Copies of this chain bind each other. A is one copy, B any other.
Amino acid sequence: MDFRKQFFVGPGEKLKLAGIDPAHTGGHASSEEALPEIQKNVARMAELQALLYADGNQSLLVVLQALDAAGKDGVVRHLFSGMNPQGTRVYGFKQPSAEEAAHDFLWRAHQRTPARGEVAVFNRSHYEDVLVVRVHQLVPKAVWSKRYALINDFEKMLAENGTRILKFFLHISPEEQLLRFKQRLDDPARNWKISEGDYSEREFWSDYVGAYEEAMSKTSSKDAPWYVIPANHKWFRNLAISQIIVDTMEDMGLKLPPTRVDLQEIAVKYHAAEAAQEQRAGKTPKPPGKK
């Protein structure tokens, strides 16, 4: 199954999240069955990231959006820990600082887009400015409703400059969220992560669903696709996202830079000169250069 086809949000489509089963697992029976595939994908992601870095002409931007406890942090930990941290940056977008809030809403996102050769992961993103901002009416509708077009222009510019963009919405049910809150609360190592706000925010669930449906429908495109990932099962979420990332990076036409044949001659010269120097100096090799 091509997950890129299966979970793609069609541009302008009348998206209804209620029609997508968050507990979907494809043909996979269990976590145990999927694990080897996930591990293969994670290993391949690390290889492709090294190749992206070596190639140096393109970049990858992964956007993770979801309601609380849907697994954004889990995706980062399970799928991106294997990548070389020198070429991979993960940014958690929190409430804007005073300086960030004093700029346009894309300003802080733009500062964190990946350089050529890099992977950037946005854990939350500029999409919060048409999600939480809309649900809690932090700006008037006249302002947030214009942002879909602004986001499209921004992402188009990134894409034209060599950035591949993948946007994932982690789709869980409200029951699954409540269950995960409870598990966190009962786990001394994660208890501190939870706040009363996590619970009270549940009252806005259907508002968030509406905001997500409109945002994804209006900003999904071939160059900056949205995927709705069934995420009640963490292992299926990891399988689908890793597979989409691998398939996308395989399509990027990444290549190693040309072999430096011109250096072979230079290297031979240096190696010969230093070998001669060693011989003159007797058995103990000496550091080269001025003494």
Contact = CB atoms under 8 A, between A and B. Distances in A.
Contacts of A85: 76, 80-81, 83, 85, 88-90, 121
A47 to B, nearest CB: 10
A203 interface: yes
Interface in A21-48: 46
B82 A86 contact: no
Contacts of A185: 260, 263-264, 267
Interface stretch (A140-148, A186-194, A234-242): A186-194
Given A182-B267, A288-B205, A84 B81 contact: yes
A192 B81 CA distance: 26
How many A residues are at the interface, by size bracket?
35 or more
A289 interface: yes
Interface string A56-83: 0000000000000000010011001111
Contacts of A151: none
A207 B291 CA distance: 8
B259 A290 contact: no
A196 to B, nearest CB: 5
Contacts of A73: 86
19 contacts: A77-B86, A80-B85, A81-B83, A81-B85, A83-B85, A85-B90, A86-B92, A173-B285, A173-B287, A174-B285, A174-B287, A174-B288, A185-B267, A188-B259, A199-B270, A203-B289, A203-B290, A205-B289, A207-B290
